[in-house]
Amino acid sequence: MKCILTMVVAAAAVFSSAADTGSVDRVARTRKLVSEYGDSVAMVAFYFRTEPDGTAPTFSIPYLCPNCNSTHYRGADDYLKENRPFECAGFFLSGDEVLVQDPLLRSAWVDRIEVRFGKSQTKYPARPVATFPAEGGMLLRTDRPVEGAKPLEFAKAEKAPEKPVYFYLVREKGFAVAGIKDSRAAEFRHFVDLGRDIAGGVPNTIVIDENDRPVTVALQQRFDLGGEVTAPPAEWKRDAPDACDRKCAAAEKALAAAVVPVYIRLDAKEKERDSYRFRSWSSDGDNVKDENDTCGYALPGGKLLVPIKMNADETARISKMEATLPDGTKRDLEFVGSVDTYGAVVVEFAGEAPKGLSPLGLYDGTITDLFLGKVVCASRKNIGGKLSVKASMSEVGEFAVGFDEKLEFSVSSGKGGSAFVLTEDGRLVAIELSRRSSRKRYGDSDELVYGEELAALMSGRAAYDAELVPRTGEDRIRTAWIGVEVQQLTDSIAREKKAAAFLHTGMTDTDGSLVSKVYPGTPAAELGIKEGDVLLDVRIAGTENRRDLEAESYEMSGIDWSEVYEKVPLDMFGRVDVTPWPAVDKGVNSVFTEIGIGESVIVAWVSDGVRREGETVLRSAPPYFRNAPKARMKDVGLVVKDMTFEVRGYFRFDDDAPGVVIAKVKPGSPAAIAGLRPYEIVTEVDGAKVADAKSFAAAVKDRKEITLSVRRLSATRMVKISVK
């Protein structure tokens, strides 16, 4: 090892200026230190192995990049894929004892450890025999004494050296490179809020005094200047070599008593809603399946917090929830509420809560107190009703300002994520959830929730969203609106309405939409929006994230429906999502629905050449064609629905006019043979008026022959149906 280091240092001397006395002195001193302590340093290699299930362990190891002098994290999966070990410098305390930086690894993840020494890089198998928690160190023992190793002999220092230097060895682009630094702190910061002086620099160095004698070994990259260790390793407080295993196992045991597998089933979407629909945006709830295996976290009172990102449509379709207890018993769960801020629901056990399920104790300190401290990170998974919890240890690293100016910290927990962060003694610091930035949108990645928010969640005091609840029947399909009908806005109409100046500006970049109708008693009417105004955009109150309110270009207005009726095959109706009347759940209303019923919003519009804004609360649109009550008559081959407000408006029917609208006709059925088509109106059955789908179904039940009064657009005819 000494020969290699001497060659590298000698090469550096060639490029030193003879006039630069300081550089010459540093080269000479480095040569001297290499000569004296080069054989006291080895390279230590940690090789990893996969979990029993074949997956890579979920941890990352921080390392100082010699190219950019920044800290990077490399996960176990990267080392495994590249078939190479994690390497760092080790320091001989005896012929068979090597002090090395503690990578905070569980023993099950380490395939082998090798100490490599000498010019030939002879490999010596090694095993951990102790850890040093305060100094971040691990003591290894080789299977035999390392030939040629020179153990460090530390000078007893009553106080820290006044002008120490730091002798280091790193692996840089395949070469072992040695050097010295006058200060280990390449970067210094005084944290005013913490009252701490934190330095960061080259880790794994030998601290050398003015007489070139080793005083101690500094292993950590970041440290408190006021608390840097000057005592030799022999005086460090030791812990057992399995300290990481014990702390992780204790965390897994605590989580096993606080987490249960949860199964959530959703009813399948109705076929009528699975038609080929035009969508301007798809909610992140698309990742939620009809059957979901997740987990529930124990709350007081027998409740569970279940992380799952469901939008309003998916929450409405919840049909079954159950938990699997450790003994394999399955227990039904009942819905309590959807957490207002994060992607999670709260449920409770039907009947008496099971015994043995207990919430985790909460960490009551501030997260900044954990800076540069150690925590336990754990992931959880529901594998077919069996709970899998995997824990690892990590250092609390960098902090950053996140959503709503919330201070956030990072941990090196690997690509597997950290569903939980706990203190070393098992108190819950944070859980990982996805924030709901609006009623139907979630963040691209999960974030750690802690502090007051965590306390509210884990105590069951979190606010619920009253709109995100399980629903039945037609109530599952809901659309938010402000109560307007709109049409596309052309350039000429925009100029006529004195709205052109407010389109495609710095405030908004929208084509807008022309208000063609305002329904009385709706938010739009209350805001003062009137027919002929131009809608611009909408934003959630308290934010500046604006959404354009443009009419859809594919609205098939002006279509000759008498021709469509005759040319479109029956099986295409419902698949092509076009109706004669305006679609309530399209266009600007789809934007409102994405924001969410019950959300306070600011709507911007132009009226009489003046840009106006008003705050309102989005409401649920009244029943419309897609979610209207319906009746299905298999013998006849018909599905009919109640006439809703937009259907009545299209046909110019009074609010109390009788009739039902045909929603579907089965090809080859008696209804199809009789010539019935979707979107026709049935007003009478055998001369008796029908008020709604329910009364229509009752009127035709068990009938062999039926005469219907049918209206198609402006024409009315009588249709006779024979039922076999």
Do 73 and 137 have their domain in common? Answer: yes
Residue 361 in 3-state DSSP? coil
Question: 84-122 b/e with 16+ CB inside 10 Å = b?
Answer: ebbbbbbbbbeebbbbbbbbbbbeebbeebbbbbbeeee
Do 319 and 452 have their domain in common? Answer: yes
| Residue 638, in any domain of the structure | yes
Answer positive or negative: Cα dihedral of 338, 339, 342, 347: negative
- What's the DSSP call for residue 359? P
For the cut 50, the answer to whether the pLDDT of residue 18 exceeds it is: no
Residue 293 in 3-state DSSP? strand
- Name the domain boundary from 202, 235, 268: 235
Contacts of 577 (CB under 8 A, 6+ apart): 275, 276, 277, 278, 583
| pLDDT tens, residue by residue, 361-419 | 999 998 888 888 899 999 999 998 999 999 999 888 777 777 777 777 777 654 445 78
| pLDDT tens, residue by residue, 131-147 | 999 899 999 999 999 99
| pLDDT tens, residue by residue, 294-351 | 999 999 989 999 999 988 888 999 999 999 999 999 999 999 999 988 999 999 999 9
In this structure, what token pair is assigned to residue 615? 């705050």
Residue 238: Cβ within 10 Å count = 14
| Residue 573, in any domain of the structure | no
Do 283 and 406 have their domain in common? Answer: yes
Residue 544 in 3-state DSSP? coil
Q: What is the mean pLDDT of the chain?
A: 84
| Residue 571, in any domain of the structure | no
| Residue 557, in any domain of the structure | no
Least confident of 210-214, 227-231, 305-309, 312-316: 227-231
- Name the domain boundary from 418, 451, 473: 473
Residue 546: Cβ within 10 Å count = 17
- Name the domain boundary from 576, 604, 620: 620
In this structure, what token pair is assigned to residue 417? 């994520």
Is residue 83 within 8 Å of residue 91, measured between CB atoms? no
Single-letter residue type at 712: R
pTM confidence score: 0.77
| Residue 581, in any domain of the structure | no
Do 249 and 381 have their domain in common? Answer: yes
Do 169 and 134 have their domain in common? Answer: yes
Nearest to 621 by CA among 477, 441, 473, 466: 477
Distances from the Cα of 165 to the Cαs of 21, 95, 112, 209, in angstroms?
18, 25, 33, 7
Do 611 and 674 have their domain in common? Answer: no
Nearest to 136 by CA among 75, 189, 203: 203
Do 467 and 533 have their domain in common? Answer: no
Is residue 426 within 8 Å of residue 361, measured between CB atoms? yes
Distances from the Cα of 520 to the Cαs of 271, 484, 527, 591, 601, in angstroms?
33, 9, 11, 21, 19
| Residue 53, in any domain of the structure | yes
Select the more confidently predicted residue: 555 or 372: 372
- Indicate which CATH number applies to the domain containing 363: 2.40.10.120
Contacts of 618 (CB under 8 A, 6+ apart): 480, 481, 482, 523, 592, 595, 596, 597, 598, 599, 601
- Indicate which CATH number applies to the domain containing 75: 2.40.10.10
Do 386 and 461 have their domain in common? Answer: yes
Q: Give the rounded percent of residues in the chain with a pLDDT score beyond 70.
A: 85
- Tally the residues of the chain: 724
Specify the pairing of strand 638-642 against strand 420-423: unpaired
Range of the domain at 650: 625-722
- Number of structural domains, the chain? 4
Strand blocks (E) in 459-524: 480-481, 484-487, 513-518
Read off φ and ψ for residue 428, nearest 5 degrees. -75, 120
**For residue 670, what is the enclosing H or E element?**
helix 670-673
